[in-house]
Structure 1
């Protein structure tokens, strides 16, 4: 096994370095965040940094890139306080990946990706109709991370849409049965396969 020192890593070509570092954290959940601007332009963005922050209150966070690189999603969320998170399945993977492109603010990513814009009564932000697991979020806090100019966006869960068949008797969600995929690095996608569930660990 070879040791890679950060001094060497920093000397690598930009995209080679980015791929290497992005893959280190392993497989991650990957979803589409749906939002809408104050002028009514829908937006979709691919996010693989979504994390569970707590169940009561039900909080979920994600990392938003610097505003200069990815301004639309965070601006929309700031303005409307509403957004959705939609799991990606293999059946629309290519369409979802297209939403990682940098479009101008007046472009509707649903239209360019050929995904279906879907609204539920009383919810401002759009859902992805094709997604087997989708949920509504309300903004709680946007915490700036000064060291690299990113933002930790924290939201509270408001409602969930999914097939009850994937919900176990103890509330466990069988996301592999739902077809939710995972990502690795910047552009790698993989199927998530359940291995087992283990009992609660005790000393």
Structure 2
């Protein structure tokens, strides 16, 4: 299916006024696209997002890449993660129901193939950490796994769960501890995170590029 479509609308200002074509798609079109094509279209539309591994404990340690990460707050420190509907090949929600603890690990860019493969639907007896060769150990003080190869890691505990109408759920976690191989700037900014693995949709990967230093606080 060819996504390329343009319309002849003219705007006073904007891309068409400067010689650029404008494309538009509507529900009447994407409702007929194949499921995976529609998924790629919308999931990659929002650009690069960091894609850390969420590690939970079931019969074995389960690791799943997560690109839907939401900063909920810093006081108290909380992070939100959108989880897909549970299936036999994805045990994260089942594991969290039995033990509401997890760890989140942002991996270096050279782990791209392992992180992508971790999205495969392995059975509940298979640990992605073991299968894909990641070293891991206990995290003293917290009932979670720590991955020494990660750029940064968070020790998490489920705070609340919001079930959505499409079967996904937004899990809000309390952040109990942060470990990192680099320090943030004195201001608190984590510029190092830009060099860690990001995803664009479900199967494209890259890194972020920071445009200069932190800007001053915006005022009217």
- Structure number with greater Rg is 2
Partner of residue 107, structure 2: 88
Asked whether the 8 Å contact 1:166–1:174 carries over to 2, the reply is: no
Confirm whether residue 185 of structure 1 aligns to residue 204 of structure 2.
Answer: no
Matches within 5 A, 1:12-51: 12-37=33-58, 39=59, 41-51=60-70
> Gapped runs of 5+ residues in structure 1?
none
Aligned alpha-carbon RMSD (Å): 1.5
Q: Which moved more, 1:127-136 or 1:149-158?
A: 127-136
1:94-151 deviations in whole A, cap 9, x for unaligned?
A: 1121110001111111111111122111222212221011111111012111x20111
Matches within 5 A, 1:188-199: 188-196=204-212, 197-199=214-216
Confirm whether residue 200 of structure 1 aligns to residue 217 of structure 2.
Answer: yes
Partner of residue 138, structure 1: 157
Confirm whether residue 160 of structure 1 aligns to residue 181 of structure 2.
Answer: no
Provide runs of 4+ in structure 1 moved above 6 Å.
Answer: none
> Gapped runs of 5+ residues in structure 2?
1-21
Q: TM-score, normalised by structure 2?
A: 0.85
Paired residue for 1:7, among 28, 35, 43? 28
SS at match of 1:93: helix
Offset, 1:170: 1.3
